[in-house]
Amino acid sequence: MHKDIEKILYSEKDIENIVNTIAKQIEKDYNDKDFIMVGLLKGSVAFMVDLMRKVNLDFSIDFIVASSYGSGTVSSGRVNIQKDISQSVEGKDILIVEDIIDSGNTLDFITKYLKAKKAKSVKLCTLFNKPDRRVADIHIDYAGAVIPDEFIVGYGLDYDEKYRNLPYVGVLKPSVYS
């Protein structure tokens, strides 16, 4: 275990099981659809790579790079798109893939943004859901695990751009923040 991690919440195996369950649901719902799976980077990098390989359908992938956290653990409420999707979404079914929904500000902004670009449908898939901190009123279509009000890192999730490469998800020791 990494020296800065206090406890592991989800092991590699736990995450694999969640990804498999979500992939099956997506296969069922998108069976007859020509859709784009859009990963919100950077946090969704690990989840997107694992999920897309488990969904046995024909679809294209794309990415949006967005951020709202800077170096802290509280949403700034301002979402910056640093890299936009590389294709037109007009008339397309979009499945957004996210690592975590916390305040909901990021997904609220991105969903409205894609709908304004005339996407046919926009659904949300997240590995982790932290409902205790929700500010924006958003509907989640596929959610992996509900987590308590703790700041988590690993499997793509960062604190100050670190720990994204950990294969598990855990919480940091309090000393890391001071």
Ligand X SMILES: O=P(O)(O)OC[C@H]1O[C@H](OP(=O)(O)OP(=O)(O)O)[C@H](O)[C@@H]1O
Catalytic sites, residue numbers: 102
170: β partners: 8, 153
The one among 102, 122, 125, 127 contacting ligand HPA by CB under 6 A: 102
Contact pattern for ligand X over residues 73 through 102, marking x by CB under 6 A: --x----------------------xxxxx
The one among 22, 38, 45, 100 contacting ligand HPA by CB under 6 A: 100
- For residues 51 and 152, which CB has a smaller minimum distance to ligand HPA in the complex? 152
Computed over its alpha carbons, how large is the radius of gyration of the chain?
16
Task: Tell me if residue 64 falls in helix, strand or coil.
Answer: strand
Asked whether the bond before 42 is cis by omega within 30 degrees of 0, the reply is yes
Rounded Cα gap, residues 126 and 85, in angstroms:
18
* Residue 171: contacted member of ligand HPA, ligand X, none (CB under 5 to 8 Å, by partner type): none
- Contact between 149 and 121 (Cβ < 8 Å): no
- For residues 106 and 122, which CB has a smaller minimum distance to ligand HPA in the complex? 106
* Residue 151: contacted member of ligand HPA, ligand X, none (CB under 5 to 8 Å, by partner type): ligand HPA
Rounded Cα gap, residues 151 and 101, in angstroms:
12
| 42 touching ligand X, by CB under 6 A | yes
- Shortest distance in whole angstroms from residue 32 CB to ligand X: 29
- Contact between 37 and 52 (Cβ < 8 Å): yes
Residue 47, C-beta contacts closer than 8 angstroms, at least 6 positions apart: 19, 39, 97, 98, 99, 127, 155, 156
- Shortest distance in whole angstroms from residue 142 CB to ligand HPA: 18
64: β partners: 40
Residues 9-68 contacting ligand HPA, CB under 6 A:
none
Footprint on this chain of ligand HPA (rule: CB under 6 A): 69, 100, 102, 151-153, 157-158
Footprint on this chain of ligand X (rule: CB under 6 A): 40-43, 67-69, 75, 98-106, 158
